[in-house]
Amino acid sequence: MQYNSLIPVVQVDPSSFDKLKFYVRHLLLQEVELLPKLRTIDTVQRLGVAYHFDEEISAILNSVSVEGQDIDRRDDVHLMTLLFRLLRQNNSPSSPELLLRSLKDGTGNFKKMLYKDAEGLLSLYEASHLAFEGEALLDEARIFSTEALRELMPSMHPHLRSYVDNALAVPLHWAAPRLQARWFIDHYAGDVKADQVLLRFAKLDFNKVQKLHQQELSRIARWWRNADLNKSLPFARDRLMECFYFATGVAWEPSLAACREVVAKAFSLIVVLDDIYDIYGTLDELVAFTNAIERWEDTATEQLPEYMKAIYLTIFNFSNEVADDVLKNVVSRVHYTTSGC
């Protein structure tokens, strides 16, 4: 999957960006049939801009259910499977029993009409990856939809074929959010039915978030250089970039910057510790280091070999900084609550 850092797009001022955001909110809230509304939610989520509209999307999904659909709607595979997936992603109650019963014939096999419904099969495939343990019906649906999609691919339109090929390689539920958003923005741009205003908003927002992540990585890299662990521990792996990327997979939204920083720093230090314990340290040195961690004092380095002192102090200072930040946030929230603001 090719991944360019920023998307070429003409920048706009904040007021124009807010106008685009208002337009997308209108798309979500306008009175339309259920399937077009669900498609809009799905598209907004895939483009990576749903975090702007969490309340609106939750309100929409909380107002519908799989069980509440009319009998004639239950034959619409794409509608029912998309609704099921979006509800489950929203942590709304959604049993697959009713959904999958409507997709099977009297003999217990999937209906033959499904073999010609590429959109419905793809939606069923994506929904099946949200199965809980023991939901054998969804496991069965995943196998069926995967095989049926592969059989249909040669006859698909190239744009749909690339969509299906990407999904079969990496199901939406397994995908790295930012990589998936970047891929889908390009894919959506090739859709003749694409909403150009929504697409422009997604491109601008992607670049804003990407620049924010780059700034965060720059700050974390500065912290890593200042720790200078490569000098005292030349045998240890330097995996800061990978750890930050992992952090963006766990929590990529702009509001979760503090979480990304802590995860990236903590995992970078864990990688170094893993190399010390698995590769370099002697048994006596490792016992001394473990004892120092248990004591948790800045003077604990006195009993450590020289090469361990830097990593111990880096862990000690980093952990205390995180604890101080957490305490400050708690105090701030308590003050905010008690002041009645």
Nearest to 251 by CA among 238, 266, 237: 266
Q: How many domains does the chain have?
A: 2
Tokens found for residue 8: 């070429």
Domain identity same for 274 and 186: no
Confidence at 335, pLDDT banded by 50, 70, 90: very low
Residue 1: its pLDDT value, please? 42
CB 296 within 8 A of CB 316: yes
Domain identity same for 193 and 236: no
The residue ranking higher by pLDDT, 138 or 99, is 138
Domain identity same for 198 and 232: no
Domain identity same for 60 and 177: yes
DSSP assignment string, 181-239? HHHHHHHHHT-TT--HHHHHHHHHHHHHHHHHHHHHHHHHHHHHHHHTHHHH-TTS---
Domain identity same for 236 and 316: yes
- Cβ contacts of 143 within 8 Å, gap of 6 or more: none
The pTM score is 0.88
- What mean pLDDT comes out for the span 72-96? 84
Query: 3-class DSSP state for residue 110?
Result: strand
Query: 3-class DSSP state for residue 104?
Result: strand
Residue 74: its pLDDT value, please? 65
pLDDT tens per residue, range 241-257: 999 999 999 999 999 99
Residue 68 has pLDDT above 70, yes or no: no
Domain identity same for 197 and 238: no
CATH number at residue 172: 1.50.10.130
pLDDT tens per residue, range 92-131: 877 788 777 778 888 888 888 898 899 999 999 999 999 9
Q: Which long-range contacts (CB under 8 A, 24 or more apart) does 261-264 make?
A: 261/216, 261/219, 261/220, 262/322, 264/220, 264/240
Residue 331: its pLDDT value, please? 63
Domain identity same for 25 and 127: yes
pLDDT tens per residue, range 30-57: 999 999 999 999 999 999 999 999 999 9
Tell me the residue range of the domain where 312 lies: 228-338
Kindly list the distances between the CA atom of residue 319 and the CA atoms of 234, 263, 310, 312, 323, in Å, as whole numbers in the listed order.
23, 12, 14, 11, 6
Nearest to 67 by CA among 90, 93, 88, 86: 93
Domain identity same for 109 and 46: yes
Domain identity same for 132 and 258: no
Domain identity same for 53 and 191: yes
Domain identity same for 172 and 247: no
Nearest to 172 by CA among 158, 187, 151: 187
Is 72 part of a structural domain of the chain? yes
Kindly list the distances between the CA atom of residue 282 and the CA atoms of 142, 278, 317, in Å, as whole numbers in the listed order.
49, 9, 25
Last residue of a domain, one of 202, 236, 260: 202
pLDDT tens per residue, range 55-65: 999 999 999 87
Residue 14: its pLDDT value, please? 87
Nearest to 197 by CA among 6, 21, 11, 39: 21
Is 21 part of a structural domain of the chain? yes
Domain identity same for 185 and 286: no
